Copies of this chain bind each other. A is one copy, B any other.
Amino acid sequence: MKHQPNIFAVIMAGGIGSRFWPRSREKSPKQLLEIIGNGTMIQNTVRRLTGFIPEKHMFVVTNKVQKSGVIKQLPQIPVENIIVEPVGRNTAPCIGLAAMFVNRLDPEGVMIVLPADHIIQNDQEFLRLLDVGVRAAYESSSLVTIGIKPDRPETGYGYIQIDEEPGAKNPYIDRGVYRVKTFAEKPNPHTAQRFLESGDFLWNSGMFIWRADVILNEIKKSLPETSAQLMSIEGSLGTSLFEQNLERAYGVIRGISIDYGVMEKAEHVFVLKGDFGWNDVGSWDEVTRITEHDEHGNHFEGKVIPVNTSNAFIHSTGKLIATVGIDDIIVIDTDDALLICKRGASQDVKEIVDHLRRKQMNEYL
Protein backbone atom coordinates (compact mmCIF):
# COMPACT_ATOMS: atom_id res chain seq x y z
CA MET A 1 0.00 0.00 0.00
CA LYS A 2 1.29 3.42 -0.99
CA HIS A 3 1.60 6.12 1.61
CA GLN A 4 -0.04 8.84 -0.42
CA PRO A 5 -3.33 7.78 -1.97
CA ASN A 6 -4.56 9.14 -5.27
CA ILE A 7 -7.54 11.36 -4.53
CA PHE A 8 -10.56 11.61 -6.81
CA ALA A 9 -13.69 13.74 -6.71
CA VAL A 10 -17.09 12.47 -7.73
CA ILE A 11 -19.51 15.34 -8.03
CA MET A 12 -23.14 14.31 -8.21
CA ALA A 13 -25.01 16.75 -10.44
CA GLY A 14 -28.20 15.03 -11.50
CA GLY A 15 -30.74 16.84 -9.36
CA ILE A 16 -33.61 18.80 -10.81
CA GLY A 17 -33.96 21.21 -7.91
CA SER A 18 -37.62 21.92 -8.57
CA ARG A 19 -37.81 23.93 -5.38
CA PHE A 20 -35.78 26.64 -7.10
CA TRP A 21 -38.37 27.19 -9.77
CA PRO A 22 -38.67 29.49 -11.68
CA ARG A 23 -34.89 29.88 -11.82
CA SER A 24 -34.21 26.15 -11.84
CA ARG A 25 -35.48 24.37 -14.93
CA GLU A 26 -34.75 20.92 -16.33
CA LYS A 27 -31.93 22.34 -18.43
CA SER A 28 -30.67 24.72 -15.79
CA PRO A 29 -31.08 23.05 -12.41
CA LYS A 30 -29.93 24.51 -9.14
CA GLN A 31 -26.32 23.27 -9.42
CA LEU A 32 -25.87 25.12 -12.73
CA LEU A 33 -27.25 28.40 -11.34
CA GLU A 34 -25.60 31.31 -9.64
CA ILE A 35 -27.90 31.22 -6.63
CA ILE A 36 -25.64 32.90 -4.10
CA GLY A 37 -22.59 35.05 -4.75
CA ASN A 38 -20.35 34.58 -7.76
CA GLY A 39 -20.10 31.43 -9.82
CA THR A 40 -22.62 28.63 -10.18
CA MET A 41 -22.94 26.09 -7.40
CA ILE A 42 -21.13 23.37 -9.34
CA GLN A 43 -18.36 25.79 -10.33
CA ASN A 44 -17.87 26.66 -6.66
CA THR A 45 -17.88 22.98 -5.72
CA VAL A 46 -15.06 22.36 -8.22
CA ARG A 47 -13.18 25.57 -7.36
CA ARG A 48 -13.13 24.53 -3.71
CA LEU A 49 -11.28 21.31 -4.60
CA THR A 50 -8.84 22.92 -7.02
CA GLY A 51 -5.27 22.35 -5.83
CA PHE A 52 -6.38 19.52 -3.59
CA ILE A 53 -7.47 17.23 -6.42
CA PRO A 54 -6.10 17.40 -9.98
CA GLU A 55 -8.78 18.13 -12.61
CA LYS A 56 -8.11 14.86 -14.39
CA HIS A 57 -9.22 13.12 -11.18
CA MET A 58 -12.49 14.99 -11.03
CA PHE A 59 -15.63 13.22 -12.22
CA VAL A 60 -19.09 14.66 -12.60
CA VAL A 61 -22.16 12.43 -12.80
CA THR A 62 -25.01 14.16 -14.58
CA ASN A 63 -27.81 13.46 -17.05
CA LYS A 64 -28.47 14.03 -20.75
CA VAL A 65 -30.19 17.41 -20.57
CA GLN A 66 -27.62 18.90 -18.20
CA LYS A 67 -24.51 17.47 -19.89
CA SER A 68 -23.83 20.39 -22.21
CA GLY A 69 -24.34 22.89 -19.38
CA VAL A 70 -21.89 21.00 -17.17
CA ILE A 71 -19.25 20.83 -19.91
CA LYS A 72 -19.67 24.54 -20.64
CA GLN A 73 -19.38 25.55 -16.99
CA LEU A 74 -16.45 23.26 -16.20
CA PRO A 75 -14.07 23.46 -19.16
CA GLN A 76 -11.16 22.42 -16.93
CA ILE A 77 -12.61 18.94 -16.39
CA PRO A 78 -11.82 16.40 -19.15
CA VAL A 79 -14.96 15.64 -21.15
CA GLU A 80 -14.42 11.90 -20.68
CA ASN A 81 -14.83 12.49 -16.93
CA ILE A 82 -18.40 13.74 -17.40
CA ILE A 83 -20.46 10.61 -16.70
CA VAL A 84 -23.99 10.70 -18.09
CA GLU A 85 -26.65 8.57 -16.45
CA PRO A 86 -29.43 7.60 -18.88
CA VAL A 87 -31.99 8.11 -16.09
CA GLY A 88 -31.71 9.04 -12.43
CA ARG A 89 -31.71 5.97 -10.14
CA ASN A 90 -30.90 7.64 -6.83
CA THR A 91 -27.40 7.71 -5.33
CA ALA A 92 -26.38 4.04 -5.02
CA PRO A 93 -26.17 3.27 -8.79
CA CYS A 94 -24.72 6.74 -9.40
CA ILE A 95 -21.90 6.19 -6.91
CA GLY A 96 -21.33 2.60 -8.03
CA LEU A 97 -21.02 3.79 -11.63
CA ALA A 98 -18.53 6.51 -10.71
CA ALA A 99 -16.57 4.04 -8.57
CA MET A 100 -16.12 1.87 -11.70
CA PHE A 101 -14.48 4.81 -13.45
CA VAL A 102 -12.16 5.50 -10.49
CA ASN A 103 -11.45 1.81 -9.99
CA ARG A 104 -10.20 1.52 -13.56
CA LEU A 105 -7.60 4.24 -12.89
CA ASP A 106 -6.68 3.15 -9.35
CA PRO A 107 -8.62 0.60 -7.28
CA GLU A 108 -7.15 2.07 -4.12
CA GLY A 109 -7.91 5.60 -5.26
CA VAL A 110 -9.93 7.49 -2.66
CA MET A 111 -13.16 9.01 -3.94
CA ILE A 112 -14.64 12.09 -2.33
CA VAL A 113 -18.33 12.05 -3.23
CA LEU A 114 -19.96 15.46 -3.13
CA PRO A 115 -23.32 16.86 -4.20
CA ALA A 116 -22.81 19.69 -6.70
CA ASP A 117 -25.26 22.04 -5.00
CA HIS A 118 -24.14 22.60 -1.44
CA ILE A 119 -22.63 25.73 -0.01
CA ILE A 120 -19.52 25.63 2.14
CA GLN A 121 -18.29 28.87 3.60
CA ASN A 122 -15.02 27.83 5.22
CA ASP A 123 -13.05 26.16 2.43
CA GLN A 124 -9.91 25.77 4.51
CA GLU A 125 -11.62 23.82 7.30
CA PHE A 126 -13.48 21.77 4.68
CA LEU A 127 -10.23 20.76 2.97
CA ARG A 128 -8.55 20.01 6.30
CA LEU A 129 -11.38 17.64 7.14
CA LEU A 130 -11.29 16.03 3.68
CA ASP A 131 -7.61 15.37 4.20
CA VAL A 132 -8.33 13.66 7.54
CA GLY A 133 -11.13 11.67 5.93
CA VAL A 134 -9.05 10.60 2.96
CA ARG A 135 -6.30 9.21 5.19
CA ALA A 136 -8.75 7.36 7.42
CA ALA A 137 -10.68 5.93 4.47
CA TYR A 138 -7.47 4.88 2.75
CA GLU A 139 -5.83 3.24 5.74
CA SER A 140 -8.88 1.63 7.32
CA SER A 141 -10.64 0.37 4.19
CA SER A 142 -13.79 1.86 5.69
CA LEU A 143 -16.67 4.02 4.60
CA VAL A 144 -16.35 7.59 5.80
CA THR A 145 -19.23 10.01 5.77
CA ILE A 146 -19.27 13.70 6.62
CA GLY A 147 -21.70 14.80 9.30
CA ILE A 148 -22.49 18.42 10.03
CA LYS A 149 -22.60 19.92 13.50
CA PRO A 150 -26.25 21.05 13.81
CA ASP A 151 -27.04 24.60 14.91
CA ARG A 152 -30.82 24.23 15.02
CA PRO A 153 -33.38 21.42 15.49
CA GLU A 154 -33.80 20.88 11.74
CA THR A 155 -36.41 18.31 10.75
CA GLY A 156 -35.50 18.29 7.07
CA TYR A 157 -32.33 16.19 7.34
CA GLY A 158 -31.40 12.68 8.44
CA TYR A 159 -29.07 12.47 11.45
CA ILE A 160 -25.99 10.41 12.30
CA GLN A 161 -25.22 9.50 15.91
CA ILE A 162 -21.54 9.31 16.73
CA ASP A 163 -19.74 7.07 19.19
CA GLU A 164 -17.22 9.12 21.11
CA GLU A 165 -15.78 6.27 23.16
CA PRO A 166 -12.08 5.88 22.53
CA GLY A 167 -10.52 2.44 22.34
CA ALA A 168 -9.15 -0.24 20.13
CA LYS A 169 -12.22 -0.13 17.88
CA ASN A 170 -11.33 3.38 16.73
CA PRO A 171 -7.66 4.19 16.20
CA TYR A 172 -8.60 7.50 14.49
CA ILE A 173 -10.61 9.17 17.23
CA ASP A 174 -7.75 11.51 18.11
CA ARG A 175 -7.93 12.89 14.56
CA GLY A 176 -11.66 13.59 14.91
CA VAL A 177 -12.84 10.51 13.04
CA TYR A 178 -15.71 8.85 14.88
CA ARG A 179 -17.48 5.52 14.67
CA VAL A 180 -21.11 5.79 13.58
CA LYS A 181 -23.48 4.46 16.24
CA THR A 182 -26.69 4.81 14.23
CA PHE A 183 -28.27 6.53 11.26
CA ALA A 184 -31.56 8.25 12.08
CA GLU A 185 -34.35 9.23 9.69
CA LYS A 186 -35.65 12.80 9.47
CA PRO A 187 -36.95 13.43 13.00
CA ASN A 188 -40.08 15.13 14.28
CA PRO A 189 -39.51 18.55 15.96
CA HIS A 190 -39.39 17.05 19.46
CA THR A 191 -36.81 14.43 18.49
CA ALA A 192 -34.82 16.99 16.52
CA GLN A 193 -34.60 19.12 19.67
CA ARG A 194 -33.37 16.12 21.66
CA PHE A 195 -30.79 15.33 18.94
CA LEU A 196 -29.55 18.90 19.04
CA GLU A 197 -29.24 18.94 22.82
CA SER A 198 -27.54 15.55 23.04
CA GLY A 199 -24.50 16.87 21.19
CA ASP A 200 -23.70 13.50 19.58
CA PHE A 201 -26.02 13.77 16.57
CA LEU A 202 -24.84 15.27 13.30
CA TRP A 203 -26.74 16.13 10.12
CA ASN A 204 -26.30 13.62 7.32
CA SER A 205 -24.84 15.80 4.57
CA GLY A 206 -24.66 13.21 1.76
CA MET A 207 -20.89 13.64 1.39
CA PHE A 208 -18.74 10.52 1.49
CA ILE A 209 -15.11 9.41 1.33
CA TRP A 210 -13.91 5.89 0.47
CA ARG A 211 -11.63 3.85 -1.73
CA ALA A 212 -13.13 2.73 -5.02
CA ASP A 213 -12.46 -0.95 -4.28
CA VAL A 214 -14.02 -0.61 -0.82
CA ILE A 215 -17.30 0.94 -1.94
CA LEU A 216 -17.61 -1.48 -4.88
CA ASN A 217 -17.15 -4.33 -2.43
CA GLU A 218 -19.74 -2.88 -0.03
CA ILE A 219 -22.23 -2.49 -2.86
CA LYS A 220 -21.57 -6.11 -3.83
CA LYS A 221 -22.33 -7.21 -0.26
CA SER A 222 -25.41 -5.09 0.33
CA LEU A 223 -26.85 -4.69 -3.18
CA PRO A 224 -25.64 -7.77 -5.08
CA GLU A 225 -28.08 -7.24 -7.95
CA THR A 226 -27.03 -3.64 -8.47
CA SER A 227 -23.41 -4.70 -8.29
CA ALA A 228 -23.91 -7.44 -10.89
CA GLN A 229 -25.71 -5.06 -13.25
CA LEU A 230 -22.86 -2.55 -13.01
CA MET A 231 -20.13 -5.20 -13.33
CA SER A 232 -21.80 -6.59 -16.46
CA ILE A 233 -20.97 -3.40 -18.32
CA GLU A 234 -17.55 -2.77 -16.74
CA GLY A 235 -15.76 -4.56 -19.56
CA SER A 236 -17.03 -2.12 -22.16
CA LEU A 237 -15.94 0.97 -20.19
CA GLY A 238 -13.93 3.17 -22.51
CA THR A 239 -15.33 1.55 -25.65
CA SER A 240 -18.01 2.69 -28.07
CA LEU A 241 -20.36 0.05 -26.66
CA PHE A 242 -20.44 1.54 -23.18
CA GLU A 243 -23.20 4.04 -23.74
CA GLN A 244 -25.72 1.54 -25.03
CA ASN A 245 -24.73 -1.01 -22.38
CA LEU A 246 -25.22 1.60 -19.69
CA GLU A 247 -28.60 2.50 -21.12
CA ARG A 248 -29.65 -1.15 -21.00
CA ALA A 249 -28.35 -1.66 -17.44
CA TYR A 250 -30.05 1.51 -16.17
CA GLY A 251 -33.26 0.37 -17.78
CA VAL A 252 -33.60 -2.33 -15.12
CA ILE A 253 -31.38 -1.14 -12.26
CA ARG A 254 -33.15 -0.45 -8.96
CA GLY A 255 -33.27 3.12 -7.71
CA ILE A 256 -32.00 3.23 -4.12
CA SER A 257 -30.00 5.63 -2.00
CA ILE A 258 -26.47 4.86 -0.87
CA ASP A 259 -27.53 5.62 2.72
CA TYR A 260 -30.37 3.16 2.80
CA GLY A 261 -28.82 0.60 0.45
CA VAL A 262 -25.27 0.49 1.80
CA MET A 263 -24.30 2.82 4.66
CA GLU A 264 -26.89 1.61 7.15
CA LYS A 265 -25.90 -2.03 6.56
CA ALA A 266 -22.13 -1.61 6.51
CA GLU A 267 -20.06 -2.66 9.51
CA HIS A 268 -17.25 -0.15 9.46
CA VAL A 269 -18.52 3.34 9.02
CA PHE A 270 -16.75 6.43 10.27
CA VAL A 271 -18.07 9.95 10.38
CA LEU A 272 -16.30 13.29 10.44
CA LYS A 273 -17.65 16.25 12.39
CA GLY A 274 -18.07 18.99 9.82
CA ASP A 275 -18.17 22.58 11.01
CA PHE A 276 -17.35 24.63 7.92
CA GLY A 277 -20.45 26.74 7.22
CA TRP A 278 -22.36 24.08 5.34
CA ASN A 279 -25.76 24.65 3.78
CA ASP A 280 -27.55 22.39 1.33
CA VAL A 281 -29.55 25.38 0.06
CA GLY A 282 -32.68 23.28 -0.16
CA SER A 283 -35.20 26.03 -0.77
CA TRP A 284 -35.61 29.74 -1.39
CA ASP A 285 -36.09 30.14 2.36
CA GLU A 286 -32.63 28.66 2.89
CA VAL A 287 -31.23 31.15 0.41
CA THR A 288 -32.88 34.06 2.23
CA ARG A 289 -31.46 32.71 5.49
CA ILE A 290 -27.85 32.84 4.31
CA THR A 291 -27.80 35.95 2.12
CA GLU A 292 -26.90 39.35 3.43
CA HIS A 293 -29.65 41.88 4.02
CA ASP A 294 -30.04 45.54 4.87
CA GLU A 295 -31.38 47.04 8.10
CA HIS A 296 -34.96 46.33 6.96
CA GLY A 297 -34.15 42.68 6.38
CA ASN A 298 -34.30 43.20 2.61
CA HIS A 299 -32.05 41.59 0.01
CA PHE A 300 -32.40 42.85 -3.55
CA GLU A 301 -30.83 41.58 -6.77
CA GLY A 302 -31.62 43.84 -9.74
CA LYS A 303 -33.65 47.05 -9.94
CA VAL A 304 -36.02 47.30 -6.97
CA ILE A 305 -37.96 50.24 -5.53
CA PRO A 306 -39.22 49.35 -2.06
CA VAL A 307 -41.92 51.37 -0.31
CA ASN A 308 -42.69 50.24 3.28
CA THR A 309 -41.10 46.90 2.51
CA SER A 310 -39.27 44.62 4.93
CA ASN A 311 -37.83 41.11 5.04
CA ALA A 312 -38.14 40.81 1.29
CA PHE A 313 -35.85 38.72 -0.88
CA ILE A 314 -36.20 39.95 -4.46
CA HIS A 315 -34.39 38.66 -7.52
CA SER A 316 -34.96 40.39 -10.84
CA THR A 317 -33.22 39.58 -14.10
CA GLY A 318 -33.97 42.94 -15.66
CA LYS A 319 -37.43 44.16 -14.91
CA LEU A 320 -37.99 47.01 -12.46
CA ILE A 321 -39.79 45.64 -9.40
CA ALA A 322 -41.61 47.99 -7.04
CA THR A 323 -43.13 46.86 -3.77
CA VAL A 324 -45.59 48.68 -1.51
CA GLY A 325 -46.48 47.63 2.04
CA ILE A 326 -44.92 44.20 1.66
CA ASP A 327 -43.34 42.08 4.40
CA ASP A 328 -41.83 38.58 4.54
CA ILE A 329 -41.83 37.79 0.86
CA ILE A 330 -39.68 36.06 -1.74
CA VAL A 331 -39.95 37.32 -5.32
CA ILE A 332 -38.10 35.57 -8.14
CA ASP A 333 -38.58 37.09 -11.56
CA THR A 334 -37.31 35.41 -14.72
CA ASP A 335 -37.92 36.08 -18.40
CA ASP A 336 -41.04 33.96 -18.69
CA ALA A 337 -42.16 33.23 -15.14
CA LEU A 338 -42.52 35.01 -11.82
CA LEU A 339 -42.71 33.50 -8.34
CA ILE A 340 -44.19 35.37 -5.39
CA CYS A 341 -43.86 33.33 -2.22
CA LYS A 342 -44.46 33.97 1.47
CA ARG A 343 -41.29 33.45 3.47
CA GLY A 344 -41.53 30.14 5.28
CA ALA A 345 -43.67 28.60 2.53
CA SER A 346 -41.04 27.97 -0.11
CA GLN A 347 -41.10 24.20 0.34
CA ASP A 348 -44.47 24.41 -1.47
CA VAL A 349 -42.83 25.79 -4.61
CA LYS A 350 -42.58 22.18 -5.78
CA GLU A 351 -46.39 22.13 -5.92
CA ILE A 352 -46.12 24.62 -8.75
CA VAL A 353 -43.70 22.36 -10.59
CA ASP A 354 -46.03 19.40 -9.98
CA HIS A 355 -48.87 21.47 -11.44
CA LEU A 356 -46.79 22.38 -14.50
CA ARG A 357 -46.01 18.68 -15.05
CA ARG A 358 -49.63 17.60 -14.69
CA LYS A 359 -50.77 20.27 -17.12
CA GLN A 360 -47.83 19.54 -19.44
CA MET A 361 -46.78 23.17 -19.43
CA ASN A 362 -43.36 21.95 -20.52
CA GLU A 363 -42.06 25.35 -21.57
CA TYR A 364 -41.93 26.27 -17.89
CA LEU A 365 -40.27 23.06 -16.66
Contacts and interface: CB of A to CB of B under 8 A. Distances in A.
Nearest to A21: B322
A256 interface: no
A142 interface: no
Interface string A326-349: 100101010011111110111011
Given A305-B352, A352-B307, A337 B320 contact: yes
A361 B339 CA distance: 25
A252 interface: no
B323 A341 contact: yes
A324 interface: yes
A239 interface: no
Contacts of A338: 316, 319-322, 333, 338
A325 interface: yes
Nearest to A307: B351
A355 interface: yes
A22 interface: yes
A360 interface: no
A308 interface: yes
Given A305-B355, A307-B351, A307-B352, A323 B340 contact: yes
B308 A322 contact: no
A308 B341 CA distance: 10
Which 6 A-B pairs rank lowest in CB-CB distance, beginning with the nearest?
Answer: A325-B345, A325-B342, A324-B341, A320-B337, A322-B352, A321-B338
